Structure 1
Amino acid sequence: MKKVVLVLDGVVGEIFLTSVLEKYFSNNLYIVIVKDPQMIPEKPPSAFSFYQFDPTSEFHLTQTLQEHQEHGASELGDVFLILQDPAESAAVFTIMRKLCKEARIVTLAHKQHALDSSAKAPQDVASNQEHQPDKKDDHTITIDEASIVAGQFISRLPNVPIIPRGFGLGKGEIMQVGVPFGSMFAYRHIGSIQQKNFKIIGLYRNDELLLSTFSLVIQPQDVVLVAGEPKTLTNLYKQIKSNIGQFPSPFGRDIYVYVDMLAQDSSAILRDIEQAMYFHSLIRSTRLFVIVLNPADFSTIYAIKTLCDEDPSVMLKFDYTNQPFIQRLEQDRTKKIGLIIVGRELFSKRIHRKALYDTATPVLKTAALPLEQCKKSLVIINEEMNAGENISSVIFDIAIQTKIDIQAYDFEPDGVHQDEIIKDYEALGRSFGKKVQITKTTSKNPIFYLKELDEPLLHFLPFERCIARSRWLAFFSTKAERLSLLLNKHPQMLVPISLH
């Protein structure tokens, strides 16, 4: 049986004792010494022995500890000193350390007492310091009451991460962060966020803890609970609090463009690289990696090198291993990829679409019309977006960085339009000063609209599982996302959503 000594006084001691009485461990023996008899409960549990006397009396302390030592062979394990008067606390600490040389002593630091001592005569200061806990004592833990109170106030400041105290290492390895409106994390499902050196444990919503799943979507005003390396969490906090305009974060930081000399001709390869470099110049990506698979044509290789040498942030890599695209993609998945760019030639293969879908990373598919000429973007509103699969934050993020307008296209033959989602786009448009054109129609199918439109635009669509299925079966589908496989006229940005 482990023996624990509690020497308590004042409000803090009373609150501490109340908590111990509620949560005590029955295999421990608690020796409680108090000055105020009112702190002793009428019916104390059998694991508690209460004594009422002045704890600065070495005689009474010695007698009490010896009495319990005679009743059991086990040594004292822990001593907790919570006293209001700093001088009394220092005196009791000295006595306890004399009586219990190996016991762990947990005591309060009295900042005000130290400040008052600085105004006293040097001999008084020396006298006080004699009774302060030895900082080199490995068996002493000093709790700074003033710092704890100050920490509680700091945690209430706006835009300051909340770090649990007295839990884990207490160094910031666990943090909770509120998600504001316009955050780059808003409307992202947890599985699409690259969690390196940290993990999203769950989130609080409407006073309820939701444990993390791949498909759980983070909403504005959620409080995210994360654990990880403290410096990483500090940077993560800044990212969550950052407004839109950070893409490709939080998916990753770099852009990867893949070209294949066996599957594409020279003009298609140069087209993809040029469009990737153009997009890289507009958004907040760190580096652009150009991965050339199956390099064989020397004139094309020379043209690629000449093109990539223009920008020092472009990393050119020729892959001579003859490995297929899906193997190379699997090899790169562990890296900080925020966006993957491929041409329609690579995207057309079902096995490639499945591999891209499994990365949970945004994919830009190039098209016949150049990305540089896009002055507008389009998103087709669908019913599933009501369930939280809202890609509006990504659309606004990219549109703001690339300076293109947004058109929300709501095609409902039955006339029942998605008004809630439309309101979300209108509200975000007002918040960020971005023009949003709303098109509601019951007759003009968006697929026909896109095929007939000669003005190039960037087509946003959720990267749903159905896109990874057979291209030919898309003819029989009524989903706009599935039918979009048949379109190669406009560049398409596929934003990952949850797996079902």
Structure 2
Amino acid sequence: MQKIIILASGQIAKAFLERIISEHIGDSRYEIICQNEDIIPKEINDLVNIHLFDPTNEHKLKRIISKETSQIFVLLENDEDTIIALNIARNLNSTVNIVTLKNANIAEVCEKLKIKTIDVSQTITSMLVNFLPSVPLIASNIGQGIGEIMEVLVPYGSKYVFRHISNIEQKNWRIVAIYRENKLILPKPSTMIFPNDELLLVGKPEILKDIYKSIKSELGQFPQPFGSNIYLLADIQKIGLKRLKELIEELKHLSEKLNNKKLIIKVKNIINNDQSEYLRSLGSSDIIVDMDFSNIDDKESLKNDIRRYNVGLVAVSSKEFLKNGMRKNLFEIKKPIIKLSSRSLKNAKESIILLNDDKYIEQISNVFFDVSIQLDFQTILADFDPEEKDKTEIYEHFSNLANIYTKKLQIEKEHKNPIRELKKRENFIQFLPFQESMVKSSIFDFFRPESNPLFRLLDEHTQIFIPTTE
């Protein structure tokens, strides 16, 4: 049985003793030394011995502190008494672990005697900060205490509400528990997250910091959390100056509606002064023009720009998106892509998701609602094969999000040809998961059931491709 000695005086020592005795902490034997019996708890057990004498009395301390002592706590109010007690304790046992409260007046002695100190003010400050709504609650007394265990309250409007655990990528981190209305839930893949749930997360600290921000971010922030700015990538030699001007006007309109900070215009293969002069005239506090005269590989150039400009949404023309090489480069950067078509984005009034057997639909729901709310678009969930399989979970997920964001959701269930029906509509944006099967899609893919080439059939409409995770 371990022998623990506590030299005690003051309120902190009193609270410490009450905690030890009331909670029966461990099976150690406690020797408590104090002058004032008022700090002794009323009820003590057989493992606690009380010694009423001056904690700085070396003669009496010799009878209690020995080589068998496992640990010593020096919790005294007076700095001089603390220094005397620390010196006596260290002289009586040169190897025992001694703990005291951090204090600038005793810092030199503690360093010399190798005393472990606890910074009370820092501990209290950390606890107070944990009550702030924008600060994660990090476990400090278990594990490494460096942020690898975190508790996060899910707010209304979070992109995580009404999502199933199975549809949340958890790479190098995990949702290990959910606290809901003071009850512990061990989540299953089918478990849905609700507003005001407290999620217990475990993972790499740097990843959990990003997850925390992601959980706390609310709608109306797109293109965040992917990045801050919209980035137009255009080859003027392929699309021409007229089409480039149209794309820029479309994106100016979009920038006025979305919560992005800047519009970045990256133009390659400029061949005459008229093109250069026009592009230079666009530069402003909100627009950055990057005329690329380099021979850097398109893939590397794109990746560099994504980092350099903090890009959250990449825009390309329909003509350029249909090229397999371009789609491959865009797929690999894992950013939302808006493909601008021949129909003007300015005239669009509806946001549409076409339901199929796609398992990634739930992952794009938050971007779908976020963009729709910022653009004030009608949201439509189109299911043209409602009996193909049970879609109850998907309907429930989208309906719950619509309710919490007070956004009207129209669910259309009809046994009709989806392409024919959507082609009848004129002014809408289609939202799609950006899947790897789209990267090498060709006309022959229509005969392959595992492919997803339908985006080609609605090419005349603006489409937003949202990255997903396995």
Q: Say which of 99, 106, 114 aligns to 1:106.
A: 99
Change (3 A) 1:223 1:400: same
Structure 1 residues 156-171: aligned runs within 5 Å: 161-166=136-141
Deviation at 1:58, TM superposition (A): 2.0
Counterpart position of 1:120? none
Deviation at 1:135, TM superposition (A): 5.2
Matched, 1:485 2:460: no
Matched, 1:433 2:406: yes
Q: Is the CA contact 1:90–1:133 (under 8 Å) kept in the aligned structure 2?
A: no
**Counterpart residue type for residue 12 of structure 1:** F
Counterpart position of 2:87? 97
**Counterpart residue type for residue 257 of structure 1:** L
Q: Deviations over 1:434-466 (max 9, x none)?
A: 232221111x2222223333x221111111221
**Counterpart residue type for residue 435 of structure 2:** E
**Counterpart residue type for residue 106 of structure 1:** V
1-side partners of 2:236 and 2:132: how far apart?
56
Q: Say which of 454, 467, 477 aligns to 2:438.
A: 467
Change (3 A) 1:263 1:326: farther
Q: Deviations over 1:163-220 (max 9, x none)?
A: 333468978797432233421455597769xxxxxx973323445789xxxxxx9886
The SS at the match of 2:296 is coil
Counterpart position of 1:80? 73
Q: Is the CA contact 1:251–1:338 (under 8 Å) kept in the aligned structure 2?
A: yes
Bigger drift between 477-486 and 361-370 goes to 477-486
1-side partners of 2:393 and 2:146: how far apart?
42
Matched, 1:223 2:199: yes
Matched, 1:361 2:340: no
2-side partners of 1:458 and 1:267: how far apart?
23
Deviation at 1:313, TM superposition (A): 1.6
**Counterpart residue type for residue 455 of structure 2:** S
Deviation at 1:319, TM superposition (A): 1.2
1-side partners of 2:382 and 2:455: how far apart?
14
Q: Is the CA contact 1:275–1:372 (under 8 Å) kept in the aligned structure 2?
A: yes
Unaligned runs of 5+ in 2: 9-13, 34-39, 179-183
Q: Say which of 223, 228, 244 aligns to 2:219.
A: 244
Q: Deviations over 1:260-284 (max 9, x none)?
A: 1233222222222222222122111
Deviation at 1:92, TM superposition (A): 5.9
Q: Is the CA contact 1:447–1:484 (under 8 Å) kept in the aligned structure 2?
A: no
The SS at the match of 1:250 is coil
Matched, 1:409 2:382: yes
The SS at the match of 1:81 is strand
Change (3 A) 1:451 1:297: farther
**Aligned residue pair count:** 434
**Counterpart residue type for residue 33 of structure 1:** E
Matched, 1:258 2:233: yes
The SS at the match of 2:238 is coil
Bigger drift between 287-296 and 398-407 goes to 287-296
Matched, 1:447 2:419: yes
When normalised by structure 2's length, the TM-score is: 0.75
Deviation at 1:416, TM superposition (A): 4.9
Structure 1 residues 46-445: aligned runs within 5 Å: 53-54=51-52, 56=55, 57-65=57-65, 67-68=66-67, 79-81=72-74, 86=77, 91=81, 94-100=84-90, 105-108=98-101, 134=106, 137-139=109-111, 143=118, 155=130, 161-166=136-141, 175-184=150-159, 201-206=173-178, 221=197, 223=199, 225=201, 233=209, 240-306=215-281, 308-309=282-283, 311-335=284-308, 336-385=310-359, 389-412=362-385, 414=387, 416=389, 418-442=391-415, 444-445=416-417
**Counterpart residue type for residue 32 of structure 2:** V
The SS at the match of 2:422 is helix
2-side partners of 1:171 and 1:478: how far apart?
48
Identity, in percent, stands at: 26
Change (3 A) 1:185 1:424: closer
1-side partners of 2:348 and 2:116: how far apart?
64
Change (3 A) 1:143 1:495: same
2-side partners of 1:466 and 1:364: how far apart?
18
The SS at the match of 2:239 is coil
Deviation at 1:51, TM superposition (A): 7.8
Counterpart position of 2:11? none
The SS at the match of 1:458 is strand
The SS at the match of 1:334 is helix
Q: Is the CA contact 1:462–1:481 (under 8 Å) kept in the aligned structure 2?
A: no
**Counterpart residue type for residue 328 of structure 2:** K
Q: Deviations over 1:360-391 (max 9, x none)?
A: 21110010101111111111123334x77432
Deviation at 1:54, TM superposition (A): 4.4
2-side partners of 1:498 and 1:236: how far apart?
15
Q: Is the CA contact 2:75–2:82 (under 8 Å) kept in the aligned structure 1?
A: no
Counterpart position of 1:128? none
Change (3 A) 1:440 1:478: farther
2-side partners of 1:300 and 1:191: how far apart?
44
2-side partners of 1:329 and 1:224: how far apart?
37
Deviation at 1:341, TM superposition (A): 0.8
Counterpart position of 1:33? 31
Q: Is the CA contact 1:178–1:224 (under 8 Å) kept in the aligned structure 2?
A: no
Deviation at 1:480, TM superposition (A): 9.1
The SS at the match of 1:383 is coil
Counterpart position of 1:126? none
Q: Is the CA contact 2:352–2:381 (under 8 Å) kept in the aligned structure 1?
A: yes
The SS at the match of 1:263 is helix
Deviation at 1:475, TM superposition (A): 2.1
Note the aligned Cα RMSD (angstroms): 4.4
1-side partners of 2:248 and 2:89: how far apart?
77
Q: Is the CA contact 1:474–1:483 (under 8 Å) kept in the aligned structure 2?
A: no
The SS at the match of 1:390 is helix
Change (3 A) 1:222 1:14: closer
Change (3 A) 1:313 1:239: farther
Q: Deviations over 1:407-448 (max 9, x none)?
A: 110111646562332233233223323232221111x22222
